[in-house]
């Protein structure tokens, strides 16, 4: 296996209607998505061709469609759906997805609530990428 590099997309902000409470679904709110893709980038580095890498603009649109799409109760579920979409690209060996819910219905002052998950491609050992 080639050395795994990273593409990082942070701060993708999308309006969605996710949450346990009815008012979260009715009113909606902004969610912020961070992605870290682990894949070999040497083919793109050698060719200088976008076809040899992940087109992060197109990926951002696909992820945004998930966030703006069918409501779910938990941001854990939303993060899982996003990971599934990202891993449709067979070049990606592992993805880290963080879903931020900065306007969560918490009656206290807070900066953010987020869930981060790390998902390897099926059949790929999760230990294949170390930090």
Residues recognised as catalytic: 101
Task: Please state, in angstroms and rounded to a whole number, the distance separating the CA atoms of residues 63 and 59.
Answer: 6
Q: Which two tokens stand for residue 60?
A: 């951002």
Which residues neighbour 101 within 8 Å (Cβ) at sequence distance 6 or greater? Answer: 18, 19, 29, 31, 75, 112, 113, 114
> Which of 28, 20, 120 minimizes the C-alpha distance to 77?
20
């Amino acid at each position: 296996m080639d050395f795994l590099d990273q593409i990082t997309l942070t701060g993708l902000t999308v309006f969605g209607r996710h949450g346990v409470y009815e008012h979260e679904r009715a009113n909606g709110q902004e969610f912020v998505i961070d992605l870290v893709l682990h894949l070999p980038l040497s083919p793109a580095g050698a060719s200088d061709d976008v076809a040899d890498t992940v087109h992060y603009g197109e990926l951002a649109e696909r992820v945004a469609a998930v966030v703006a799409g069918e409501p779910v109760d938990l941001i854990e579920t939303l993060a899982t759906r996003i990971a599934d979409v990202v891993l449709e690209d067979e070049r990606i060996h592992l993805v880290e997805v963080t879903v931020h819910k900065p306007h969560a219905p918490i009656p206290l002052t807070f900066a953010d609530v987020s869930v981060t998950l790390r998902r390897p491609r099926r059949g790929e050992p999760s230990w294949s990428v170390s930090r």
